[in-house]
Structure 1
Amino acid sequence: METVRKRELFTRHLPVAARGFRHVLQAFLVLLAGLGLAACSPTYNWREVHADGGLEATLPCKPRDDTRRVTLAGRLADMRLLSCEAGSAIWAIGTADVREAGAVGEALSGLRAALGANIGSTSELKGPASIAGATPFPAAGHFAATGKRRDGSAVQAEALVFARGTRIYQASVLRPGTASGSLREAQEQFFASLAFPVPR
């Protein structure tokens, strides 16, 4: 039953830009269950990752790396998604280049709207997306939403939505409605790690 719940969490509630990875993420969960990795691995196994466009971050688990063509701001773009599951939460970094500066704001707003819509809710602004090296955009920010899964259990989604030039990013955590202190601390560590390196 636990594997079924995790599969539902992946396929139903990931941000809209990640929904195209449904079949890939389902296969990933089946593989984890078959190998028994969730039972024998530490809750958080932090490692540094690099997303397109120079973004650096640390994730608490080894991410799956997938790319798929999606529609953003009315145009096709290749979305890269780094995602994994640890500590009862799903951790993800999605990025795509919309190639035109005028399309960035609309694409960021779309990511924000999808964050709440995919869990039957609306997202609220918690604060700015304070990412070193990011390009300032009014539509960027730290957003959160609370909703429910099909079984009625509460689920929360939080994301930093931001951009650098014409490349947009969404770093998100999808977790149970009642989160432990260690999970909240891990989320803060993940968000705080996001940065673009300063050229020397």
Structure 2
Amino acid sequence: MSRPVRLGATLCAALVLGAALTACSPTFDWRTIMNDDNGYTVDLPAKPGNDRRDVQINGMPMQMAMQTAEAGDAVFAVGTIMLPNDSEATQRAALDFLRTGLARNVGAAPDARAVQIPLAAGGKVLGLEMTLKGEAGSKHESRTVYARLVARGRHVYQAAIIAAGPLPQEQIDQFFSSFQIF
């Protein structure tokens, strides 16, 4: 008689565990977004929302257009700053602003490494890649930030994932490998 009880308890435990894992798994409904206004294409895991923010870079007011999508405990975003000119100094200042801002948001060092960012027409351009871990917000919640930054012409781009914890590598790869600038 004890055998059916154990089997039933084991089956029940497996079903509860399976339901819990399913409830915790974010749904990634990937879709390709072509942003002609800001010059990029990217795959996002859900229907994106749009936002604009005012930023000050070296005392100059600029606007950052944002396209964001949420999946589970992660936000996937592409931000674009339209620069007043395409000088290397202006591009560098905007990239530095984004790099240090991301790091400051989670209390981490603004470490970055060089990475190649694909162009939609073929070829690549040099950009920066960052993976940051720290605490964010007034509640000091743990956050992992994956980001790529790149400048091209009068645009500076920030492709980023902000998550409550580490994400599966295939989700990170899907987002970043799809990010291409015009």
TM-score bucket (shorter structure)? 0.7 to 0.9
**Aligned counterpart, 1:116:** 103
**Aligned counterpart, 1:25:** none
- TM-score, scaled relative to structure 1: 0.67
Give ranges in structure 2 of 5+ residues lacking alignment.
1-22
Q: Where do 4+ consecutive residues of structure 1 move more than 6 Å?
A: none
Retained in 2: the 8 A contact 1:129–1:162? no
Q: Does 1:49 align with 2:49?
A: no
Q: Does 1:144 align with 2:108?
A: no
- Of 154, 160, 171, the residue aligned with 2:159 is 171
Name the aligned partner's letter for residue 122 of structure 1. A
Shift of the 73–168 alpha-carbon distance from structure 1 to 2, 3 Å rule, reads: farther
Q: Deviations over 1:123-152 (max 9, x none)?
A: 322441423268856xx3111211024545
Retained in 1: the 8 A contact 2:117–2:124? no
**Aligned counterpart, 1:63:** 48
More strand by share: 2
Quote how far apart the aligned CAs of 1:113 are. 0.6
- Of 138, 157, 160, the residue aligned with 2:145 is 157
Shift of the 152–73 alpha-carbon distance from structure 1 to 2, 3 Å rule, reads: closer
Give ranges in structure 1 of 5+ residues lacking alignment.
1-38
**Aligned counterpart, 2:17:** none
Shift of the 74–129 alpha-carbon distance from structure 1 to 2, 3 Å rule, reads: farther
Same amino acid, percent of matched pairs = 29
Shift of the 154–136 alpha-carbon distance from structure 1 to 2, 3 Å rule, reads: same
Distance 1:136 1:85 in 2: 28
State how many pairs are aligned.
153
Q: Does 1:104 align with 2:91?
A: yes
Distance 1:69 1:180 in 2: 30
Name the SS for the 1:99 alignment partner.
Answer: coil
Retained in 2: the 8 A contact 1:72–1:98? no
- TM-score, scaled relative to structure 2: 0.73
Q: CA RMSD, aligned part only?
A: 2.5
Distance 1:126 1:189 in 2: 20
Shift of the 156–129 alpha-carbon distance from structure 1 to 2, 3 Å rule, reads: farther
